[in-house]
Structure 1
Amino acid sequence: MRYYQLREGTPRLAAKTGDTLYDLTDAKPQLRTFEDLLTTATITDESLDTITDRLLEDATELSSDVRSDGAVAAPVSSGEVWAAGVTYRISEEARKAESSMEDMYIDVYDSERPEVFFKATPSRTVGPDERVGIRADSEWDVPEPELGVVLSDGEIVGYTIGNDMSSRSIEGRNPLYLPQAKVYDRCCSLGPCVRSAESLDDPHDLEMWMTISRDGEVLYDDSTNTGKMVRSVEELVDCYTSHNAVPEVSVLLTGTSLVPDDDFTLREGDLIEIGVEDIGTLSNTVVEV
């Protein structure tokens, strides 16, 4: 089951099963957000999809155009977004290439402890078809397409797509500048939906792809598989939640294996499209912030 947050008028929650999208708020007005559904699941001790299956008979079927033209918002109002780094070999190689202290990235890739860092608050996060940011004081900026793990009270409840926007020039000057390279206005996008964990067979075997277009011309087009991650989703979640007071709802991004060539940098107006098998496609344009 896929869950979408609709932005037209008051918040509305929709669920997609097969090729059909249903308005869950129409069936149960108290369910306006994905967080409302999570609360219901906690109270009833039932799974998200079990509750939704019961509501579909009374839910209105929505036309396909509801999912286009900016009608879909970020699927969760996550209290925090965190991210994991150097979880793919190509990411380790890219971080080495941009840094004057490359050995530290080899250590992280091979280390028992993964790199997990704070990424964004809700005010810094955008949804599908909104604009993601590149810093005006940065000369080298890239998107980082990632599988996002949606957590409720630290437990995995679903998966989404994330774009961990990054300033490679700022981080490359000194690894201590990582927060400035990663955390700023419009630095993260999430969407287009949450795929329930119970309906996704294996998060470690999903095709992922990204295209970057400028003025209608495709400048980057490549794909990978989450099976190339050196760490498991469970390992990354455990590192994030251990000894840490995590919010009731949070998202953990799991790292990227798609990195544009070193001579590429984003420009204002570029279109970034990130797809993950069995979840969907997240699209954003770029603006300077």
Structure 2
Amino acid sequence: METDFTIDLPPGATLVGRAWRPDCDGPSLIAVRDGAVFDISVPGTATMRDLLEAEDPAALVRDADGDMLGSVEELAAGAKAETGLRLLAPNDLQAVKACGVTFARSMVERVIEERAAGDPARAEAIRKEVGALIGDSLRNLVAGSDKAMQVKSALVEAGLWSQYLEVGIGPDAEVFSKAQPMSSVGWGARVGLHPVSAWNNPEPEVVLACDSRGRVKGATLGNDVNLRDVEGRSALLLGKAKDNNASAAIGPFIRLLDAGFGIDDVRDAELQLTVEGKDGYRLEGHSSMSEISRDPLDLVAQTCGPHHQYPDGFMLYLGTLFAPTQDRDVPGEGFTHKVGDVVTIRSEKFGALVNTVDLSTNCPPWTFGTGALMRNLAGRGLI
């Protein structure tokens, strides 16, 4: 199946990202203007980290000069080919963090994974059992609230205590490291599944771009690729389930906060997901940020503060409402990826993030890290 070359551009948005320039043998900071891409890298603002540290990144981008590199479509074609001038993930030096179980309704699937011990064949029977006990009690539940504590007590009494229940509706959010700085993949790239996994899925999410002081400077889309069987065996395998080569997709661009786009736009964002397989299979899903159980700014505060600092800023996946239960092959075993699946995460506020599924062992290895970036920018006179 061919990946769509089109990248939706939200009208009126201030969009920034990164592109690989073969002529420089390295990445450049880019801005999108009327469908064209401009290199805005200058000494002092040569990385996305430096741009987001500015008091008003959107104003800086509007006033920046730059050389036109080509159209968005041309860079998208390069990204799909994985050669030449091409889009990269828009983040660079930032830590890549993620919040889990931030939607109370999707928390049920985490409980099911745990009780099934990673076995999809057991999931459907457990799903019916848990659903009969929980009913509609999780709708519009605010994590940490008095009502949430009452629901938690009732579930515990029913024998349904879970570590996912604790972080799903308790006072403390789950925040973990999704990927290393510089390791994320962008639009058009392949996303990786660890080859040991036989039960896995995409997770369509909003990703916040935050500076070193924990201030939200922009937002974008992300796919927090998830290995349900690995994490279901043990939550202590979260690192193996989440952090693998090419398992963190972010992009296509960061939409900067400005007069026309603020944190309330993040709070009410709607995400649509499609998965299209080579076998003709099609899965559709969605995630509504309006149903999140923890406010995005609360998640930022639980990630960064006196207890934890990020001098280069951080990207923060906010979690997803989406949890696939639709059968793909075997009745009762739900959905799992196949190599070649095309995953599209779309939002009118951010555009669309498109990636093709492969094994992490087959995706291009991550070789260009922070040291390589510093040497490259120094050689170009940008630092």
TM-score, length-scaled by structure 1: 0.88
Counterpart in the other structure of 1:63:
71
The residue number in structure 2 matching 1:49 is: 58
1:88 correspondence with 2:103: yes
1:145 paired with 2:219, answer no
Q: Residues 220 and 53 of structure 1: is their aligned pair in 2 closer, same or farther, counting only changes over 3 Å?
A: same
Please report how far the alpha carbon of residue 22 of structure 1 lies from its aligned counterpart in structure 2 after TM superposition.
4.3
Cα distance in 1 for residues equivalent to 2:247 and 2:72: 29
- Deviation, structure 1 residue 256: 0.8
Partner of 1:266: 337
- Equivalents in 1 of 2:90, 2:202: separation in Å? 20
Determine the C-alpha separation between the residues in 1 that align with 2:46 and 2:249.
21
CA contact (8 A) 1:211 1:218 kept: no
User: Aligned partners of 1:37 and 1:245: how far apart in 2?
Assistant: 18
Distance across 1 between alignment mates of 2:87 and 2:279: 23
Cα distance in structure 2, aligned partners of 1:89 and 1:38: 31
Q: Deviations over 1:72-112 (max 9, x none)?
A: 11101143211111111332011011112862222322211
Instruction: Indicate whether 1:203 and 2:266 are aligned.
Output: yes
Partner of 1:164: 224
Give identity over the alignment, percent. 29
Distance 1:21 1:227 in 2: 33
Q: Deviations over 1:184-233 (max 9, x none)?
A: 22221111111112342321011101111111735211223211111111
Tell me the SS of whatever aligns to 2:266: coil
Name the structure 1 match of 2:8.
none
2:279, 2:20 → 1: CA distance?
27
Partner in structure 1 of residue 21 of structure 2: 8
- Give the match's secondary structure for 2:293: coil
Give, in angstroms, the shift of residue 119 of structure 1. 1.2
Q: Name the Cα RMSD after superposition.
A: 2.3
Matching residue of 1:222: 285
Corresponding position of 2:174: 115
Larger Rg: 2
Count of equivalent residues: 281
Q: Aligned partners of 1:267 and 1:4: how far apart in 2?
A: 29
Structure 1 unaligned blocks of 5 or more = none
| 1:67–1:90 Cα change, 3 Å | farther
- State the partner residue of 2:161: 103
Over residues 128-160 of structure 1, what are the superposed CA-to-partner deviations in whole Å (9 max), with x where a residue is unaligned?
111111111111111111100111102211111
Of residues 236, 254, 257 in structure 2, which corresponds to 1:176? Answer: 236
Secondary structure of the structure 1 residue equivalent to 2:244: coil
- In the superposition, the TM-score normalised over structure 2's length comes to 0.68
2:252 aligned partner, one-letter code: P
Gaps of 5+ in 2: 1-13, 80-85, 118-159, 326-332, 361-383
The one-letter amino acid paired with 1:51 is: L
Q: Which amino acid aligns with 1:38?
A: L
Q: Is the 8 A contact 2:205 2:287 kept in 1?
A: no
Q: Which has more strand, going by share of residues?
A: 1
